[in-house]
Every structure is written in structure tokens, then in C-alpha cells.
């Protein structure tokens, strides 16, 4: 049964960091440096594997109902759970992002001086959790790894955080635990109803699940589905974080060590959006788009999701503008940028539901989605196929493909830029011991290299054309405009404010009258200028951001394969 290499590449990829964590822990206590380099070494090997996975998916994108590197064997027969893993274009991009960011975050964490071994072990443990989520094709595995991603982060904030770390760590923990609770319950219900925790099986069966004559556990099946949807969605919205579930993020970021912030913003937030793509949208195609009523106001859940996205974009940007703590400013910028991810997801969910209705010939639902009133006495099929013919569905599908490509690309580019921004915040804080923007000013003369990199990364964060963030935001805007013109126009207001807070960050640190305090500081203590290790850590990010902006194809091809697969048929 055991070959020489008993495990497939995905399993190896996922558990290698865990083995690394064990190795780091058993190293002798006094060898702090050894722990650092071993951790870096393991993460680099994982990175190579991740690149390997990415390249494989790039050259052979899996078709519909196929998975690259698929592996499946029974794990807990009692629970109908199996070790089922595999990747498609969407997860391959996320795995690549994780693989690239981890070594850089570990390199930055070399500055951690206390309990180095534990720190590094937690970091590697965290990587296992994140990669596990991206490869999981079984609901239970997904959940286990989802939770694993939570615990190390809690300790990273709690043990290596700043002054207010207890509050921040607890808030982080409670928020995400609350989400996980709903996720766990929803998972159990769906799994038990379908009789399997296998994600593809659930996706195939759950949307059509009728229960016992429309009842399940004595509840109406539609009501039941609605609540399970909420269970999934709230967990993912908290993780993203979408407005109004975002208030844990600024606190967690402000207190987390630099490396932790990089991973938190870079990868952990993407878990939520990934959850939408893998579970929340495909499991509930009907529930997302079915018209509902509140106080005679007609709406559907996708509209609500889009609204939350727009609120996140606008209010996130405004909140970032009002900050004087540089790290809080950058943290709120994540709320702002992830709003575009959510907007793209809303359009994708809308289209997924439409296609599902069309494929299953549910014309009444289709009429509801398209906002067509079917006069009584006429068949829905006739009216709908006249007013919303297949060509128009195809047209709208093309738009949704744009929006969803943009959404996933935004996950990728935001991962790179926000990690870069947090790295810079950390690089400055580590030397100046303050993040208060009001205390800096006019520093460009004494920190020219830092200044240049800051302007570069800030502009990438702003979504300046030529950087990856622009391509993704443009695609989301373009693809969403037909479905949600008002949302898009409102989100432009948010993008406007994005400009203000980005410039505020640059200006408060680099421009303005020279703050003599720092000149003195620069002479007497250490230099404020960014050091070589930090430059090495941010250089790959800068290169990737620029390359993605100038030639997005290299990653977009893979993402697009995943999107086409998602919105196929």
C-alpha cells in the first residue's frame, strides 16, 4: 500500500509545514537562529511545491467536474468523511499566493526576539491550516483546517502583540469563533441531509434537495436552507471581513506582529472569499437569487451582498481616512479593497443562480431573477424565453465572467499589496517605535529608499493602472456595471476616498516640514532607513505586483480557467 512517496503532492504540500513546526519545536532552545532558518527553509520548499502545483494547473487546467491532483480515500467512515483533496484554477492561485507570502512573512519575522521557536512553529502551523482549506474537497476537512487557521493567529496576536493585545486577540477569537459556530452547524445539517461531506457531492445534491415532502426536521426546506446559507455566509463575511463584521480587523492588525499582519491581510482574509466560491455560492444557487420581500420591498440576497460590498468600499475608505495610526489606516484599506472582491462575488452568485435556474428549467425563478412579471395564465417558460432569451443570458454570463475574474484577481493582488503595506508599516514601526502619523513628516530626505518603496506600494494599493490592483478593480467595475450600475457608481465614491487616505499616508510620513526629532534620532540611535532584509522581503512582492499589472495573463489564465469552470455550461 505504501509507495516510496505515500502521499500525493497536495497532501505533502499541506503537511510539510506541520512537520517543519515539529522540527522547529524539538530544536534546542538556545538555537534561535536555527529555528528561523529551518522555518524559512520549510516555507521555501512549500513555495516551490506551490509553484509546481500552479504551473501544472496552468498547463493542464482541469475541466468541469475534474480536479487537478485529485486524491480521495475514506477517512472517517462513521461520518461519511473522506480525505478528498484537489485543486482548480481558483485554489491554485490562492495556493500560489500562500506559498509566496509565507517565506517573506517568516523572513520579516526574523526580527522577533522572544520565544522564536514557538513563533516559527505557530507560523508554519498556520500555513498548514491555510493550505488545507484551499485543497479541501471534503466539508469536514475544510472545517478542520478552517479552525486550524484560527488558533495560531490567536496566539500570534496574544503573545507577540502590542499593548492592547488581550482585547484584540479576544475580539478576533470571539468574532471568528462565532462565525465558525454557524459554519459548523450549517455544515452538519447539510452533511447529514445529503448523507455525505464530500463537497462535489454536496454541490450536486443539496440545491435540489427536497427533504421529506418539503420538510426537514419538521422545518420547511426553504426556511431551513435559508438558515444554513446564513450560517455559511456569516462565517465567511466575518473572515473577509465585509461590512458590518469588520471591526475585529483593525484591532487584530494593530496588535499583530508584522509577519502576522502580512499573513492575516494577505491570506487569511481570502479564506472567507474562497469559502464563497467553494461553498456558499454553489450550495445555494436558488437561495441567493430568489426574490424575497421585506415591508413590501422586493430584494434578494445577492442585492444585499452587493450592498454590503459597497458599504464596505465607501465606509472602509472613509474610516481609513480618519485614522492617525498608520497600521489602522492600512487595516481599514483592506475593508475597502475586499469590498470589490465581495461585489464581484455578488455578481458571480447572481449569474450562478441564473444559470442554475436555466439549466434546471426553473423558469419561475428565472423570471424572478430577471425581474420579469409573468402575467397569470401564461406559462413562465414562454414569457421568459421571449424576454430573457439565452443569448442575453450568455451576454450577462460574459459580464459575470469579467466580474468574477476581477474578484479573484483582486484577492490575489490585494494579498500581495496589503502584505507589502504591512511590511512597510512594520519596517518603520520597528525602528521608530511609533505608528502615529502625526509624529512623522518630511522624512523623505533621510529615508529615500523607504520613501520610494512606500510610494510604489501605496500606488499599487490605490489601484494605479500599471499595477495589478487596477486590472482587478477595472474588471470588477466593468463586469458589475450592467447588473448593479448604482452600486458601481457609489463604489467609485469609495475609490475616490481611497486616493485620499493613500495620499494621507504618504504625505504624513514623507512630505511636509521636516520633523527634527527624527533627524536627531537618526543620528544617535539606529537608522530609520529600511534595512536589507526588509528590502529582500518586499522586492518579490513589488516585482509580482508590477508584473501582474503589466502582464496579468500569467496568473489570470489560471484564474480564468477556474472561473469558466465555475460559470460553465
Strand partners, 73: 83
Query: Least Å distance between CB 213 and other proteins?
Result: 37
| First-to-last C-alpha distance (Å) of the chain | 39
Q: Spell out where 412-510 has E strands.
A: none
Distance of CA 344 to the CA centre of its chain: 13
- Whole-angstrom Cα distance, residue 125 to residue 130? 9
| Helix (H), strand (E) counts: the chain | 24, 6
Q: Give just the sign of the alpha carbon dihedral 26, 31, 37, 43.
A: positive
Name the minimum Å distance from CB 465 to other proteins. 4
- Considering beta carbons, is residue 225 or 549 the nearer one to other proteins? 549
For 233-255, give the DSSP string: HHHHHHHTTPTTS-THHHHHHHH
- Given a contact cutoff of 8 angstroms between Cβ atoms, the answer to whether 242 and 312 are in contact is yes
- Closest CB 99 distance from other proteins, rounded Å: 21
Q: Which residues pair with 298 in a beta bridge?
A: 293
Closer residue to other proteins in complex, CB, 263/402: 402
Q: Which residue's entry shows cell 426574490?
A: 291
Burial class (CB in 10 A: 0-12, 13-18, 19+), 208: exposed
Nearer to other proteins, 55 or 550 (CB): 550
| Cβ proximity to other proteins, 107 vs 335, nearer residue | 335
Residue 70 or 381: the one with the smaller Cβ distance to other proteins is 70
Indicate the residue among 389 and 466 with the shorter CB distance to other proteins: 466
Rounded to an integer, what distance in angstroms lies between the CA atom of residue 32 and that of residue 92?
33
Residue 214 or 322 having the CB closest to other proteins: 322
| Cβ closest to other proteins, residue 279 vs residue 510 | 510
Locus of grid cell 498556520: 126
311-315 contacts at long range (C-beta below 8 A, 24 or more positions apart): 311/243, 311/244, 311/339, 312/242, 312/243, 312/246, 312/336, 312/338, 312/339, 312/342, 313/339, 313/340, 313/343, 313/490, 313/491, 313/494, 313/495, 314/339, 314/490, 314/491, 314/493, 314/494, 314/497, 315/243
The three three-digit cell numbers of residue 143, written as one number = 472545517
Angle formed by the axes of helices 89-108 and 116-135, nearest 10°: 170
CA gyration radius, the chain: 24
Q: Which residue has the cell 460553465?
A: 568
CB nearer to other proteins: give 193 or 242. Answer: 242
Q: Measured from the CB atom, is 380 or 490 closer to other proteins? A: 490
Rounded to whole angstroms, the Cα distance separating 450 from 452 reads: 5
Identity of the residue, 72 or 385, whose beta carbon is nearer to other proteins in the bound complex: 72
CB 441 within 8 A of CB 375: no
Q: Which is nearer to other proteins, 143 or 224 (CB)?
A: 143
Q: How far is the CB of 503 from other proteins (least distance, A)?
A: 5
Q: How far is the CB of 398 from other proteins (least distance, A)?
A: 6
Give 339 or 552: the residue with its C-beta nearer to other proteins. Answer: 552
Cα separation, 529 vs 150, whole angstroms: 34
- Give the whole-angstrom CA distance, residue 295 versus residue 170: 37
We find the least distance from the C-beta atom of residue 471 to other proteins, in angstroms, to be 7
In the block, residue with C-alpha cell 430568489: 290
Amino acid at each position: 500500500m505504501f509507495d516510496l512517496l505515500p502521499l500525493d503532492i497536495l497532501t505533502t504540500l499541506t503537511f510539510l509545514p506541520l512537520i517543519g513546526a515539529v522540527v522547529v519545536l524539538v530544536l534546542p532552545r538556545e538555537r534561535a537562529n536555527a529555528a528561523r532558518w529551518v522555518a524559512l527553509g520549510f516555507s521555501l520548499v512549500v513555495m516551490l511545491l506551490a509553484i509546481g502545483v500552479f504551473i501544472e494547473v496552468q498547463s493542464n487546467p482541469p475541466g468541469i467536474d475534474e480536479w487537478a491532483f485529485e486524491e480521495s480515500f475514506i477517512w472517517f467512515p462513521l461520518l461519511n468523511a473522506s480525505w478528498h483533496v484537489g485543486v482548480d484554477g481558483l485554489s491554485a492561485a490562492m495556493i500560489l499566493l500562500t506559498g509566496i507570502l509565507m517565506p517573506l512573512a517568516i523572513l520579516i519575522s526574523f526580527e522577533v526576539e522572544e520565544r522564536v521557536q514557538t513563533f516559527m512553529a505557530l507560523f508554519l502551523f498556520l500555513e498548514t491550516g491555510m493550505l488545507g482549506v484551499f485543497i479541501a474537497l471534503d466539508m469536514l476537512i475544510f472545517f478542520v483546517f478552517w479552525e486550524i487557521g484560527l488558533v495560531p493567529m490567536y496566539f500570534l496576536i496574544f503573545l507577540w502583540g502590542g499593548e492592547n493585545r488581550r482585547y484584540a486577540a479576544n475580539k478576533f477569537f470571539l468574532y471568528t469563533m462565532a462565525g465558525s459556530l454557524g459554519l459548523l452547524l450549517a455544515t452538519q445539517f447539510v452533511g447529514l441531509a445529503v448523507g455525505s461531506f464530500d463537497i462535489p457531492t454536496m454541490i450536486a445534491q443539496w440545491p435540489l434537495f427536497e427533504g421529506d415532502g418539503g420538510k426537514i426536521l419538521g422545518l420547511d426546506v426553504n426556511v431551513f436552507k435559508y438558515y444554513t446559507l446564513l450560517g455559511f455566509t456569516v462565517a465567511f463575511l466575518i473572515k473577509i471581513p465585509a461590512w458590518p463584521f469588520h471591526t475585529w480587523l483593525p484591532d487584530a492588525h494593530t496588535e499583530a506582529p508584522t509577519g502576522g499582519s502580512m499573513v492575516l491581510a494577505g491570506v487569511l482574509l481570502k479564506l472567507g472569499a474562497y469559502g464563497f466560491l467553494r461553498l456558499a455560492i454553489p450550495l445555494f444557487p436558488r437561495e441567493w437569487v430568489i426574490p424575497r420581500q421585506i415591508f413590501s420591498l422586493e430584494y434578494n440576497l445577492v442585492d444585499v451582498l452587493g450592498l454590503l460590498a459597497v458599504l464596505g468600499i465607501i465606509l472602509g475608505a472613509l474610516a481609513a481616512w480618519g485614522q492617525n495610526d498608520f497600521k489602522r489606516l492600512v487595516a481599514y484599506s483592506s475593508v475597502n479593497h475586499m469590498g470589490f472582491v465581495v461585489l464581484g462575488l455578488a455578481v458571480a452568485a447572481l449569474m450562478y443562480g441564473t444559470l442554475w435556474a436555466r439549466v434546471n428549467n426553473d423558469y419561475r425563478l428565472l423570471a424572478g431573477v430577471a425581474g420579469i412579471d409573468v402575467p397569470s395564465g401564461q406559462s413562465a417558460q414562454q414569457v421568459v424565453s421571449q424576454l430573457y432569451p439565452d443569448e442575453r443570458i450568455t451576454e450577462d454570463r460574459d459580464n459575470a465572467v469579467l466580474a468574477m475574474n476581477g474578484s479573484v484577481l483582486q484577492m490575489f493582488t490585494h494579498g500581495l499589496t496589503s502584505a507589502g503595506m504591512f511590511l512597510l508599516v512594520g519596517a518603520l514601526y520597528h525602528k521608530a517605535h511609533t505608528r502615529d502619523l502625526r509624529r512623522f513628516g518630511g522624512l523623505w530626505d533621510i529615508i529615500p529608499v523607504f520613501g520610494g518603496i512606500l510610494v510604489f506600494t501605496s500606488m499599487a494599493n490605490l489601484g494605479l493602472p500599471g499595477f495589478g490592483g487596477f486590472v482587478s478593480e477595472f474588471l470588477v467595475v466593468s463586469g458589475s456595471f450592467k447588473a448593479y450600475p448604482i452600486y458601481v457608481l457609489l463604489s467609485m465614491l469609495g475609490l475616490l476616498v481611497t486616493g485620499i487616505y493613500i495620499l494621507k499616508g504618504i504625505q504624513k510620513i514623507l512630505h511636509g516640514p521636516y520633523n527634527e526629532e527624527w533627524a536627531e534620532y537618526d543620528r544617535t540611535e539606529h537608522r530609520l532607513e529600511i534595512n536589507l532584509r526588509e528590502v529582500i522581503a518586499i522586492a518579490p512582492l513589488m516585482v509580482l505586483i508590477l508584473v501582474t499589472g503589466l502582464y496579468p495573463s500569467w496568473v489570470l489564465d489560471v484564474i480564468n480557467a477556474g472561473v469558466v469552470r465555475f460559470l460553465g455550461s
